[in-house]
Amino acid sequence: MVVLNWLKENYKGMLVGAIIVGLIAGIAWPKNEARLQDGKAVAVETRVGKYTAEMLYEELKEKNGLTALLTQLDRDIINDKYGTSLDEEARESATSEAESYFNQYKLYYNMDENTFLSQNGFKDREDFIQNLMINYKLNHYVNEYIGNGISEDELKSYYDSDVFGEKTITIISSSTSDTDVKKAQKELKNGTSLDKVKSKYTGLVYNDVTMTYDVASSYPEDVVKIVKNMKAKQVSDVINDSTYGNLTVYVSSSKDKPSYEEAKDNIRKSLAQNKQTEDQTLYYKAMIALRNDYGIKFYDASYEKYYSNFNKQYAGQ
């Protein structure tokens, strides 16, 4: 049963999870054996009341059951859809993401890896990575789904306005004053080398970046507008940005803009990601379409109702 499998994986160590798994699997308890086949059998009793297997199962369905069910369904479907074709890139991404989690929790909460894993319900590092790999595959599918709905006109418009060649840049900034930023900008404009500027103005922050159009959305819009039209050895005007403060941008090197055909696939991915960011319902619509493709059919009226309401709430369907 999908609910049983999900519970076994996600509620290890939790008493209520153990009780529910016991009820569903028919584990023999010291007193009466409470099964869903006999929903009236008492599982727990206190002075204020008796609690049956039927009551527990209905509570599970209403509060956690649909989430548990969809988690299992989506995992099985996405693994069937892609097989092992995405495993290499999914593992690479998941491993990097896992390390980022470990480092962030260590830095901000002084929490080691094992504590992080145990407190978040993962039995070990590999269990965590496997979950991140599933997320990678699901996001890959969603981007494909959204991307397939992007027209040729949209792709060409993005190419004309937003695609630029790879640039190696340095964002020179100060969150307190623009005085040294202006001095550094002036020296770079007059031909002073970047290394000399870095040595002279040690109080400034220097962010060395390789920027491409498909990752440009990770940077402030004002910075991207400046960078995409700059050439090698150019330095920008000094501006004030909410992320960096007072800044100027120096371009060390710049490559030619790729052709439309070379950039087309990456443009589609970038636009799909942008659309998903702007409209959160697209993720749910994509998952609804995938489950429909795999012939989802409910035999439990309650789950069917919960699923219908869920789709209306999150996807407007």
Secondary element (H or E) of residue 11:
none
pLDDT of the residue at 39: 60
pLDDT of the residue at 160: 96
Give DSSP secondary structure letters for 29-94.
PSS----GGGTTSEEEEETTEEEEHHHHHHHHIIIIIHHHHHHHHHHHHHHHHHTTTTHHHHHHHH
Q: With a threshold of 0.85, does the pTM exceed it? A: no
> Which residue type occupies 76?
D
Q: How do beta strands 42-46 and 239-241 pair? A: unpaired
How far, CA to CA in Å, does 204 sit from each of 169, 179, 207, 232, 235?
A: 15, 10, 10, 22, 16
Condensed to tens digits (0 to 9), the pLDDT of residues 262-313 reads 999 999 999 998 899 899 999 999 999 999 999 999 988 888 999 999 999 9
User: Residue ranges per domain, the chain?
Assistant: 2-81, 87-152+263-315, 165-257
Give DSSP secondary structure letters for 110-123.
---HHHHHHHTT-S
Secondary element (H or E) of residue 205:
strand 205-211
pLDDT of the residue at 140: 95
Distance (Å, whole) CA 236 – CA 246: 12
Q: Are 193 and 283 in contact, with CB atoms under 8 Å apart?
A: no
Q: What number does CATH give the domain 165-257?
A: 3.10.50.40
Distance (Å, whole) CA 68 – CA 60: 9
Q: Which two tokens stand for residue 308?
A: 């219908």
Determine if residue 191 is left, alpha or beta; phi over 0 gives left, psi from -120 to 50 gives alpha, anything else beta. Answer: left
pLDDT of the residue at 42: 76
Residue count of the chain: 317
Could you say which residues of the chain have pLDDT below 70?
A: 1-39
